[in-house]
C-alpha cells in the first residue's frame, strides 16, 4: 500500500511505499492493549486514592531506586496515576491515528530505526515514570524541600 505525502510549503505530492506490513491490525492490537491497561490502572488509582483519603495517609519518601510497586501507599498511587496518564495519552493518539502504530525503541530493539508508517512514542513501561512521580509529588507540595 502506498501513501501520499504532501509537502508543507505547497510543493509537489510524493508517494512513498510502506513496507509489506499492514499497520492497521498492529495499531488495533496496540489500542486494545492500551484500553485494557488503562482500565486496570484506573481501578488501581481509584482504590489507592480512596485508601489515601479514608486513612488520611501521609506522604512517606520512598526509596526512589526500589521497585515502585514496593513504595509507600501515597507515592505508589502517584506513580500509578503517572502511568495511567501516559497510557491515556498513547491511547488517544492511537485511537486518532488507527493506521499508525506506536514505535518504542526499547520494545522493538530489532528495528535499528523507525519503520515507515510508525510514530515514535516511548511506552509507559520505558518512560521515566519515577522522575515524573518525583516532579508530580513536588508540584502537589508533598515532598519536603521541593515546594
Give the tens place of pLDDT for each residue, 25-55.
Answer: 999 999 999 999 999 999 999 999 999 999 9
Per-residue confidence (pLDDT) for residue 19, from 0 to 100: 53
pLDDT of 112 > 60? The answer is: yes
**72 touches 60 (CB < 8 A):** yes
pLDDT of 21 > 90? The answer is: no
φ and ψ of 138, to 5 deg: -65, -40
pLDDT of 102 > 90? The answer is: no
- Write the CB contacts of 2 (distance below 8 Å, at least 6 apart in sequence): 15, 16, 17, 18
Q: What residues pair up with 129 in beta bridges, in sequence order?
A: none
pTM of the complete model = 0.79
Share of the chain above pLDDT 70, in %: 84
Average pLDDT estimate for 58-76:
96
Amino acid at each position: 500500500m502506498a501513501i501520499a505525502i504532501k509537502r508543507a510549503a505547497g510543493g509537489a505530492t510524493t508517494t512513498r511505499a510502506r513496507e509489506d506490513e499492514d499497520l492497521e491490525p498492529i495499531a488495533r492490537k496496540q489500542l486494545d492493549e492500551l484500553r485494557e491497561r488503562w482500565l486496570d490502572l484506573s481501578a488501581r488509582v481509584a482504590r489507592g486514592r480512596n485508601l489515601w483519603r479514608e486513612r488520611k495517609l501521609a506522604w512517606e519518601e520512598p526509596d526512589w531506586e526500589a521497585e515502585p510497586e514496593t513504595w509507600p501507599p501515597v507515592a505508589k498511587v502517584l506513580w500509578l496515576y503517572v502511568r495511567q496518564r501516559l497510557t491515556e495519552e498513547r491511547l488517544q493518539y492511537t485511537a486518532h491515528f488507527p493506521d499508525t502504530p506506536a514505535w518504542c525503541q526499547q520494545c522493538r530493539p530489532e528495528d535499528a530505526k523507525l519503520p515507515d508508517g510508525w510514530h515514535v512514542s516511548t511506552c509507559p513501561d520505558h518512560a521515566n515514570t519515577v522522575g515524573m512521580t518525583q516532579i508530580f509529588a513536588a508540584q502537589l507540595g508533598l515532598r519536603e524541600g521541593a515546594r
